[in-house]
Amino acid sequence: MGRAAALLIAAAIAAFQASSCSEKSSAPPAASQKHAELKTSPSPKAEPQKQSEPKTSPEPDAAPRKNLEGIQTSFKDCRNFFANGVPPIVPHQQKLRELCYDAFAILHSGVRKTPVFVAQKLNRALVADADEKRKDRFFADARLPEAERAKLSDYKNSGYSRGHMAPAGDMPTPAAMAQSFSLANMVPQVISHNSGAWKKIETDTRLYASRAIGDVYIITGPVFGERETLIKNSDVHVPTHIFKLVYDEAQNRAWAHFQENAEGVRAGEPISYEDLVQRIGMELLPSVKPAPRLPLPQ
């Protein structure tokens, strides 16, 4: 990294640390957009941040709901990470907040202290730029209320890795790389799974995007069982499974990886988008009807 870029990142970190927050973080980079808390209604409005003028959130573009009812998320400041600019429909939940970053967007659960999903857009140019040096400076995102966010101490000696949903390897700039280490972008992941099968899936997805004709939209997130478990001495929930949806816009083609968060798991054959929707209960592509007959990539 050049000296000028390093100075810019240092200045951003210093400015963030100087702002009012209830918890210090190890490396809190400045994200460029605002966040909003969702209300449990079909068409939520974005709530303004403290010390800012109230703003009205425009309604998302109308989209079919495909037999699923829930919250139509907004992401008014970063809809570029979603196919046709229309973000997912998710089940009614408490303490949902939308977070926009330079290279990804997060719907965060203040109940589970993990993301509900993390959305990205990749293409040839972005993958070509994804050559930033990894810093591994994890931090608790101070834009989230203290009671709703994971802390560095939650993962310490937990036996789980801090599993990226938007991979650090996808980040095209130093700022995006730094932001990807927000704990809002993490789930407790079995160490061997994170470094094994899941790493292969991330690498294969990045390779696919580098060869695609146009934009590839990716949505990644955790899945929790009926009897949820927590990190010991923590309120952070541990997922039973992790999914990654890949949508190739030019080919109108979608597939998903659905992996158990466990040891000994291998990267297997992808499942269809329709199958994923049934498993997770979220409509991740509400404005899209992917072609059903294209063969899934092996």
Q: Is residue 288 part of a domain?
A: no
Q: What is the pLDDT of residue 291?
A: 85
Residue 89 region by backbone torsions, left for phi larger than 0, else alpha for psi between -120 and 50, else beta: beta
Average pLDDT, the chain: 83
Strand partners, 258: 243
Tokens of 82: 């979603």
Q: Is residue 242 part of a domain?
A: yes
Average pLDDT, stretch 147-169? 97
Q: Is residue 291 part of a domain?
A: no
Q: Is residue 290 part of a domain?
A: no
The annotation places the binding site at 194
Tokens of 25: 């973080």
State the pLDDT confidence band at 150, using cuts at 50, 70 and 90. Answer: very high
CA distances, 100 to each of 235, 278, 297 (Å): 24, 27, 30
Q: Are 183 and 140 in contact (CB under 8 A)?
A: yes
How many domains does the structure of the chain reveal?
1
Pairing of strands 253-260, 186-190: unpaired
Cβ-based burial of 226 (10 A; exposed 0-12, middle 13-18, buried ≥19)? exposed
Q: Is residue 292 part of a domain?
A: no
**pLDDT at residue 123 is higher than 50:** yes
Supply the range of the domain harboring residue 176: 3-280
How many other CB atoms sit within 10 Å of the CB of residue 254? 26
Q: Mind listing the pLDDT tens digit for each residue in 67-102?
A: 467 999 999 999 999 999 999 999 999 999 999 999
* 108 catalytic residue (yes or no): no
Q: Is residue 73 part of a domain?
A: yes
Tokens of 13: 């970190």
State the pLDDT confidence band at 295, using cuts at 50, 70 and 90. Answer: low
**pLDDT at residue 193 is higher than 50:** yes
Q: What is the pLDDT of residue 69?
A: 76
Q: What is the pLDDT of residue 38?
A: 57
Q: Is residue 112 part of a domain?
A: yes
Q: Mind listing the pLDDT tens digit for each residue in 219-266?
A: 999 999 988 999 999 999 999 999 999 999 999 999 999 999 999 999
Q: Mind listing the pLDDT tens digit for each residue in 5-62?
A: 444 444 444 444 334 333 333 444 445 444 444 533 222 333 333 333 333 333 333 3
Full DSSP string of the chain? --HHHHHHHHHHHHHHHHS--SS--S--PPPSS-EEEEPSSSSPPPPPPTTS---PPPPPPP---TT--SEE---TT-GGGSGGG-PPEE---SSEEEEE-SS-EEEEETTTTEEEEEEEEE-HHHHHH--PPP----B--TTS-GGGS--HHHHTTSSEEEEESS-GGG--SHHHHHHTTBGGGEEEEEHHHHHTHHHHHHHHHHHHHHH-SS-EEEEEEEE--SS-EE-TTS--EE-SEEEEEEEETTTTEEEEEEEESSTT------B-HHHHHHHH--BS-TT----SSSPPP-
List the CATH number of the domain containing 47: 3.40.570.10
Mean pLDDT is lowest, of 21-30, 143-152, 188-197, for 21-30
Q: Mind listing the pLDDT tens digit for each residue in 200-214?
A: 999 999 999 999 999
| Catalytic residue of the set 164, 193, 237, 257 | 164
The annotation places the binding site for Mg(2+) at 194
Report CA Rg, the chain. Answer: 18
Q: What is the pLDDT of residue 183?
A: 98
